[in-house]
Structure 1
Amino acid sequence: MSTITASYNVTPNEPTPNVSLWLSESDQVARWSHTSTIYIYKENQTQNALERMRDSLSKILVHYHPLAGRLTWLEGGKVALNCNGKGVTLIEAESQKTMDDYGDFAPSEKLKNELIPPVDYSQPIEELPLLLVQLTRFKKGSSNNNNNNQLGLAIGVAFCHVLCDGLAAIRFINAWAKLTRGEVLDSIEMFPFLDRTIMNSTYPPRAPRFDHPELKPLPLKLGTTDTIEEQKKEKTAVILRLTSQQVEKLKKKTNDERPQKEGITKTLRPYSRYEVIASHIWRCASKARELEDLQPTVVRVSADIRNRLNPPLPRNYFGNALAVALTPKCHTKELITNPLSHGAQKIREAIELLNDEYIRSQLDFIRCHEQLDRIRASYLDQGEPKNAPFYGNPNLTIVSWMSMPVYEADFGWGKPGYFGPGAVYPDGKAYIIRSSDEDGSLVVSAHLQTAHKELFKKFFYEDI
């Protein structure tokens, strides 16, 4: 267990604009609860760490002042962001466990309760901090442990997803870390682009030009009429590691086995790491779930749209710049019996949908939607709210964090040795993350029903 030794409300150390910030459609469909991530550090040079973090946080909040604001509900289920400078929460805690006691830091209720800052959702939304950070020092290891001289620490982060996407959050954390270790921020780090009206390029709203199945109910398990029973089932998370050799083996196998279309003489573009590994996860999950042969299944993919829009968004855009797409439906038997390239091709087709025209149509679809709760990717730690979309069994959502600079979060005691989700998310969510070794190896954090965990692990490595 962990004991909280100090808790601070940190506000900007200079006056900031007291305004209401317009939120884009991409912000509106983000879950209004908090996304939890965790950084693990092996070094023990943490003297005055919290004091330095607290001081630098108050400084950087001047530039990222929306973080210190609060949300409020609007008519029709929308939310608004009040930049009122109420502050963010910074917590210091002591753990009664060593680093080794947490194993591979796979997300769990225990890990969330001990290393992730708690969010009290019984409060009105107007009182909830949008950012909470907890620094936890681990207990010293035993004398026969090779790491006994390294106390180690964890930084748990709870970030309100309405405020920004993962890339923007990581860039903020990295800028804060840079300031904490005494370095000067560059102009992009100091001046994030906060005006979300740049996303409102089709006003008044146009009618959507596409059907957007990604924002509608997904295929159900055969023989069911809703997702209630699937949502009730116990969920768990598993951490699976892929060496660079295993990644390359999967890529080579997938690309070598792809069917060559008759009459095409030019070299086909190889499948990417994401397309290959996502296809592998999709197939392994379908086998582990023991679905019927004719069970329809799809994968939701999400993409950073900063460079997909025309004109592109500014590099330092601070907000949600995400769009989602859906693979074509695939039957379980077809997915399992065909080569990995079959699933990889379907994932590629989903990604290729996300061009400027499709993204703007998706934003118009959201803007015109009367019941945002029906399409908002929202859930609380204590369970699914009424009407929340369910993306689990027999489907998946596979997120790539491979391009995010997560290991630049050096607060002065070295880069993190591990980064990943800090809570168990709903069934069917999987994250692909670069390993801290920076050698091409990857970490997969898969969130599934507990009953499917062991079979998924078995197939994951057996099929490589």
Structure 2
Amino acid sequence: MPSPSPSPQLRVLSRRTVKPPPRPRPRPRIPLTTWDVSFLSADYIQKGLLYATPPFSTARLLDHLQTALAQALHAYYPVAGRFATDQHRDAHGNVLGCSVSIDCDGQGVDIVHAVADVIPPDADVPRLVQSLFPLDGAVNHDGHHLPLFVVQVTELTDGVFLGFAYNHALSDGTALWRFINVWAGIARDSLSASPSEEHKHAPAPPPLLERWSPDGLTTPTPPVVLPFPDLTGLIERLPPPPLRERMLQFSAHTLEALKDRAREELLAAGDAAGAAAVTKFQALSSLVWRCVTRARRLPPDQTTFCRAAINNRTRLRPQLPPEYFGNTIYAVATEAVTAADLLERGHGWATAAVGRAVAAHTDADIRARVAAWMASPVLYNLRYFDPNGIMMGSSPRFDMYGCDFGWGAPLAARSGKANKSDGKASLYPGQEGGGSIAAELVLTPEHMALLEQDDEFWAAVSPDKPCPPAGKN
């Protein structure tokens, strides 16, 4: 199994496997959809949360997390499975293709216990943070033999960090954070012998494990048969180039100001419909897109796009419920625009361009993309990131700061080095709440150095505030 990033500041002390309660035979198999299979060459998701030191021993902490995780896996049993590839043959025994499914035999997930030195303060995200995540270098296809979920519990001198490595072919971020919140809720409730009525938590709706196909939700879900005997020849492992990353805070006030500025520019240009549709996400995407384009010093005639990961659940007809467990995301893109035109047209135009891309992502568009992918299957990885554009990923709607395992809410959210490239911005809920947003921005060192000189960008960024001491609530 790939181990945490080598670091003289981190020591792995133990590893334990957690399994769900036994299920009756025959063991279920859940076929992966087009959305799931397309991630098999990408990295595991690496996200994590910093906490204050629990008011009990490390041994109790590990047992506490393990017991609650085993209970959470009762409903989320696919997380404890492994991938399996099956070949499909015609009547003469000729191989027609293959399909991938989740073998839900309760193989288990892992909890790793490690100890690290304190994370040093730095404007950039410190390199030590990368060692706080397991399965570094693993791609999702490795889920055939690696756990689909591993959590690394790292003791710091003044806190504890839970680093999650989660197979992206299993599900998207929406389903991941629902799962972690369910696990946290079980852990939290277990520390209260008899919680009062006002502190009791309603049980979360169970995950919807049936997979979507163009015919809707079907049981059993038909397998997606790809025209290859297996997928190993399509798997690429591409190390990212040297990158710098910064965690940037945008206050609710700043985001409203960005929205107002975009509205004013659009109204002045006669685009009342675009002005009425402006959102915080669109305005922030415009700021990042334009300022990163300026920092890159692209040739004036170089085309660029803004792409954004978008949830298909509410855009399908009929809609998928929030508890759908699987991948249901696409990356939408603005129309192509030259670097010169993007900067000349201004913040309002770029904001509206992002809005148009989101609005065009309808049920018909989703189904057309599924059909196009089936006609020419592709496994996505870093090769598909546009070096001249930006990509807005993750979501400030994910309930990261609700993941209280029983000794307090998280103090900060961070990620590992997986799935990162020049121009990737991952959005998180802001630490101050109230509609604020944090953006984890990744650029090459030379591009980050030039962005740091961009007055328009830094006028919108809230002053750096260090994470509160992990030993304090």
Asked if TM exceeds 0.5, the reply is yes
Moved more, 120-129 or 406-415: 120-129
User: In structure 1, what is the Cα distance between the partners aligned to 2:22 and 2:286?
Assistant: 49
Question: Aligned partner of 1:106: which letter?
Answer: V
> After alignment, is 399-408 or 168-177 more displaced?
399-408
Q: Describe the shift of the 1:321–1:121 C-alpha distance in structure 2 as closer, same or farther (beyond 3 A).
A: closer
Q: 1:181 aligns with which of 182, 185, 188?
A: 188
CA, structure 1 residues 31+345, in 2 after alignment: closer, same or farther (shift >3 Å)?
farther
* 8 A Cα contact 2:82 2:147, kept in partner: yes
Match of 2:146 among 123, 128, 143: 128
Aligned-pair distance for 1:377?
2.5
Counterpart selection for 2:452 from 442, 445, 457: 457
How far the C-alpha of 1:34 sits from its partner, in A, is 0.5
CA distance, structure 2, for counterparts of residue 348 and residue 418 of structure 1: 30
Provide the residue aligned with 2:30 in structure 1: 21
The reply on whether 1:362 has 2:356 as its aligned counterpart is: no
Answering whether residue 156 of structure 2 is matched by residue 138 of structure 1, we say yes
CA contact (8 A) 1:175 1:185 kept: no
Aligned amino acid, residue 105 of structure 2: N
CA distance in 2, matches of 1:119, 1:423: 8
Which of 3, 14, 19 matches 1:6?
14
Change beyond 3 A, Cα 1:92–1:16: farther
Measured after TM superposition, the shift of residue 392 of structure 1 is 3.4
Q: 1:104 to 1:66 in 2, by over 3 A?
A: farther
Q: Name 1:37's counterpart in structure 2.
A: 47
Give per-residue Cα distances to partners, 1:290-344, cap 9 Å, x unaligned: 1011110012222111111111112211111112221100110111122201111
- Residues matched between the structures, number: 410
- What does residue 135 of structure 2 align with? 118
Relative to the length of structure 1, the TM-score reads 0.81
C-alpha displacement of 1:283? 0.6
For residue 194 of structure 2, what is the aligned residue in structure 1?
Answer: none
Corresponding residue for residue 118 of structure 2? 98
Q: Give 3-state SS (helix, strand or coil) of 1:408's partner.
A: coil
Task: Give the distance between the partners of 2:21 and 2:326, measured in 1 at CA.
Answer: 23
Structure 1: 5+ residue stretches without partners: 140-150, 206-229, 380-388
Shift of 1:417: 1.1
Aligned 8 A contact 2:31 2:100 in 1: no
Contact 2:259 2:279 in 1 (8 A): yes
The structure-2 alpha-carbon separation of the partners of 1:129 and 1:461, relative to structure 1 and needing over 3 Å to count, comes to same
The one of 396, 415, 423 aligned to 2:390? 396
The aligned amino acid for 1:41 is Y
Give the deviation of 1:453 after TM superposition: 0.9
- Which amino acid letter does the alignment assign opposite residue 101 of structure 2? A
Task: Give the CA deviation at 1:284.
Answer: 1.0
Distance 1:116 1:367, change over 3 A: same
* 1:194 and 2:209 matched: yes
Q: 1:431 aligns with which of 423, 426, 435?
A: 426
Question: How much has 1:104 moved relative to structure 2?
Answer: 6.3
Deviation at 1:273, TM superposition (A): 0.6
- Contact kept? 1:24, 1:199, Cα under 8 Å: no
CA–CA distance in structure 2, aligned partners of residues 102 and 265 of structure 1: 45
2:68 aligned with 1:56: yes
> CA 1:177/1:244 → structure 2, altered by over 3 Å: closer, same or farther?
same
Q: Is the 8 A contact 1:107 1:423 kept in 2?
A: no
Task: Name stretches of at least 5 consecutive residues in structure 2 with no aligned partner.
Answer: 1-8, 88-96, 191-199, 223-237, 461-473
Q: Is the CA contact 1:298–1:329 (under 8 Å) kept in the aligned structure 2?
A: yes
Cα distance change on mapping 1:78 and 1:338 into 2, 3 Å: farther
Distance 1:299 1:173, change over 3 A: same
Alignment of 1:330-341 (within 5 A): 330-341=337-348
Aligned partners of 1:296 and 1:394 also within 8 Å: yes
SS class of match (1:51): helix
Indicate if the aligned counterparts of 1:31 and 1:162 stay in contact, CA closer than 8 A: yes
The 1:102–1:64 alpha-carbon spacing in structure 2 relative to 1, beyond 3 Å, is farther
Alpha-carbon distance in structure 2 between the residues aligned to 1:266 and 1:6: 58
Q: Report deviation, 1:243.
A: 2.4
Which residue matches 2:403? 409
Give the fraction of aligned pairs with identical amino acids, expressed as a percent.
Answer: 24
Q: Displacement, 1:124?
A: 5.7
Matched, 1:316 2:336: no
How far apart, in 2, do the equivalents of 1:455 and 1:271 lie?
28
Q: Is the 8 A contact 2:133 2:152 kept in 1?
A: yes
| 3-state SS of paired residue (2:431) | coil
Per the alignment, do residues 10 and 185 of structure 1 end up closer, same or farther by CA in structure 2, a change over 3 Å counting? farther
CA contact (8 A) 1:22 1:196 kept: yes
Deviation at 1:448, TM superposition (A): 1.5
> Which letter does structure 1 place at the counterpart of 2:265?
E
Opposite residue 45 of structure 1, the aligned amino acid is P
Q: Secondary structure at the match of 2:386?
A: coil
Q: Deviations over 1:64-89 (max 9, x none)?
A: 11001111345667532211211001
Q: Quick check: 2:266–2:272 contact (8 Å CA) kept in 1?
A: no
The change in CA–CA distance for 1:231 and 1:11 in structure 2 (over 3 A counts) is closer
